[in-house]
Amino acid sequence: MIFILLAFALSLYAQMRVSSAFRKYSQLPASSGLSGAQVAQRILALNAIHDVEVVSQPGSLVDHYDPSAKRLVLSEENYHGQSVAALGIAAHECGHAIQHARLYAPLQWRMAAVGITTLAGNMIPIAALGGMFLAPKLVLPILAVAFGIVTLFQLITLPVEFDATARAKAILAETGAVGPGEEYRGMEKVLDAAALTYVAAFLSALASFLHYLLPLLVGGRSDEE
Ligand SMILES: [Zn+2]
């Protein structure tokens, strides 16, 4: 229970860090004068990726790479923006497109696990609700398995996200899209804060998994005694 609260606190802290880093460094323009969309298009071209389209979408921090549609989605702010935060996020999403093009194994595993994880995620509220009215003993194993699947998915997500961020930092420095010194450090802070949210999501899932798994293990042992 303490572990769940700690993981929850870390999630809140990570979210706050992302918003504050993004707020701060979306005000710091990159000296290259490039927009997020321009940087994304350049990075894709440099990596000989010609079948990924870069599009903008309304909303804040909706940025993602959709491997099934081969679409790199940037929020309007990051698509048009010329800040080090916008360029960092655009380059990070390009990192995912490069992973996809090069068949980076953890991304392949993650894509394969999306279906069952969505199913597990949908099962959790249904099972939890059922557990309140029906036999909780029946529901406990279902929740343990469902959170186990979600935990595994969040674990596979970690190398995918860290690798995309490492690629982004290297490419932005090499191409000079983000200047050295303050610009680079600002971009780094935004991406590192974002990476921390994935660590927090993993720990939260792990805490819930253990919360439902441990009573089963303890219960099983006392039955044997
Ligand atoms: Zn990512």
Domains: count for the chain: 1
Question: What's the sign of the alpha-carbon dihedral 82, 87, 93, 96?
Answer: positive
State pTM to two decimals.
0.90
Q: Ligand 1 centroid to 48 CA: how many Å?
A: 20
**pLDDT of the residue at 224:** 41
Ligand 1 centroid to residue 162 C-alpha, Å:
8
Question: Domain range for residue 121?
Answer: 2-224
Q: What spacing in Å lies between the alpha carbon of 195 and ligand 1's midpoint?
A: 8
According to the model, what pLDDT value does residue 52 have?
97
Active site residues: 93
Per-residue pLDDT of the chain (225 residues; tens, 9 = 90+): 788 888 889 889 999 999 999 999 999 999 999 999 999 999 999 999 999 999 999 988 899 999 999 999 999 999 999 999 999 999 999 999 999 999 999 999 999 999 999 999 998 888 888 777 777 777 888 899 999 999 999 999 999 999 999 999 999 999 999 999 999 999 999 999 999 999 999 999 999 999 889 888 887 654 443
- Reading the block at residue 12, the tokens are 């809140």
CA-to-CA dists, residue 2 to 5, 148, 190, 213, angstroms: 5, 19, 29, 15
- Count of alpha carbons within 13 angstroms of residue 171, beta-carbon side: 26
Classify residue 47 by burial, with Cβ atoms within 10 Å: 0-12, 13-18, 19+.
Answer: middle
Instruction: Output the CA 160–ligand 1 centroid distance in Å.
Output: 7
User: What is the Cα Rg of the chain in Å?
Assistant: 20
